[in-house]
Amino acid sequence: MGVCLSHSLTPMAAMTNKTANSLKPDPDEPQTLRSVSVLHVEDDTIIQFHMRTILEKRVRELFSAADGVEGLAMFRAHAPDVIITDIRVPRMNGLEMIEIIRETDPDIPVIVTSAYSDADYLLKAIELGVDKYLIKPFDHRQVVKAVSRAAEGMARQREINEANRFNRFLLDINPSFIVVLDDGEVEYVNSTFLSFMGFRSLEAFILSGRDIADFVEDVGGHQDATRIGRWFEEITGSGEDGVVVRLKGCDERFGGVFWATFNRFPETRKYVVVFTDITRLDDERKLLSLQARTDHLTGVANRLGFSERLQAEIARAERYGQPLSLIMFDIDDFKRVNDEHGHEEGDRVLKALAKLVWTNIRTTDLFGRWGGEEFLVATPNCDLDQALRTAEKLRDLLCEAAIGPGRGISCSFGVTSHRKGESMDAFLRRLDEALYVAKKSGKDTISSA
């Protein structure tokens, strides 16, 4: 049983006019009072009247309840800004009511009143995070001060919440993907990124058991599972302004290339990582790279494109000890086609020749225009005899196709195979020599070196 600190309040009917006048609002009181609504829970009708006299003309709206059950119903119906409740009210005591309300609104300001100093109630009130504890009897200045402070705190919290809501809105509509991590754990993901990954909320993402790493295909050019699993450390520990990351969406056929940057919140272990979509730039880069390596007339690889791929094939052949052969062919008397029939006809011949060869070599073979009327075919895993048979096949196809004016064109072929340790330049020089011999031998012939 608690100890009573004072006698019951004198009935308001006995108040003098002077006392009643002292309860009128003071012009100097905080204006924030006028913007709040208050729920007062009290079973003593005299104290209810006293509180109404104090607050009715000071706050925007005042709701009164006689017990905890009625107070909880009023809270749910009216969503007041501040709650004032006595501890010992019928049906459900004030602290039980507050505990239920805290589950819905953990931040609502609560002022508790009591005529008792029961330690258990005080500890429970502290546990529930009440904002003020008023001991009865209290005067109007205590009430006004307590509600004013609660209103000011509520106003500040509203401003903070509104700013946070607006900031979150800006983050959620941002086209970039934004992730906030605290000590490496995901704390926030904006809606744009969640939608990309196929989730409607952060909670759904977390409950799914998925991780950001599940949507990373490549980080900084690395595709091994260990480095992808450490995507956050790869980005923050790169020492660069940013890292190129390739992401895949919920539909694994859809993804993109992103420029990942990060910032650290001062004096915390929180990081914000931003993924900016550069897929279009990457596609444009790839297109420019492809254009730079493709012959614009025939659509096959040009000298640069073929040289790069040939260098890679030479390295592969050296590494695995596999054969690699080259075929170079040159259109015989092509200058006469241009001179007698025009360059348009010459271009048509080059395109038709390229199409014929392209459709009659293996998908693993490399094909390119070396320059002018010279073309190259690289045949991985083919020795010299196999490459000679391929050259013979192409020569026969050209004869049958009759490409070009009159009886069509013919070509001379040079063929050679790579020697262990031989550079690409030396390889191509021997090939050129073989073609030179074929040309000198009467054209429409095949020579090897």
Query: What is the percent of the chain where pLDDT is above 70?
Result: 91
Neighbour-count burial of 160, counting CB atoms closer than 10 A to its CB (0-12 exposed, 13-18 middle, 19+ buried): exposed
The CATH topology of domain 293-448 is Alpha-Beta Plaits (3.30.70)
pLDDT tops 80 at residue 259: yes
pLDDT tops 60 at residue 59: yes
Comparison of pLDDT for 418 and 256, the residue scoring more = 418
Span 5-35, pLDDT tens digits: 333 344 444 444 444 445 566 666 667 788 8
Task: Look at residues 414, 415, 394, 391 and name the one whose alpha carbon lies nearest to residue 324.
Answer: 415
Active site residue 373: yes
CATH for 174-282, among 3.40.50.2020, 3.30.450.20, 2.60.120.10, 3.40.720.10?
3.30.450.20
pLDDT tops 70 at residue 332: yes
pLDDT tops 80 at residue 69: yes
Report the distance separating Cα 59 and Cα 35, nearest Å: 6
Span 37-51, pLDDT tens digits: 999 999 999 999 999
The residues pairing with 257 across neighbouring beta strands, listed in sequence order, are 246
pLDDT tops 90 at residue 213: yes
Q: How confident is the model at residue 376 (pLDDT cuts 50, 70, 90)?
A: very high
Catalytic residue among 345, 373, 392, 422: 373
**Per the confidence metrics, is the pTM higher than 0.85?**
no
Span 117-151, pLDDT tens digits: 666 667 777 777 788 888 888 888 888 888 988 88
Provide the CATH number for the domain formed by 12-161 in this structure: 3.40.50.2300
In whole angstroms, how far apart are CA 142 and each of 66, 81, 199, 299?
22, 18, 50, 88
Q: Where are the domains of the chain?
A: 12-161, 174-282, 293-448
Q: What's residue 27's pLDDT? A: 62
Per-residue pLDDT, averaged over 173-188, amounts to 92
Query: What is the percent of the chain where pLDDT is above 90?
Result: 61
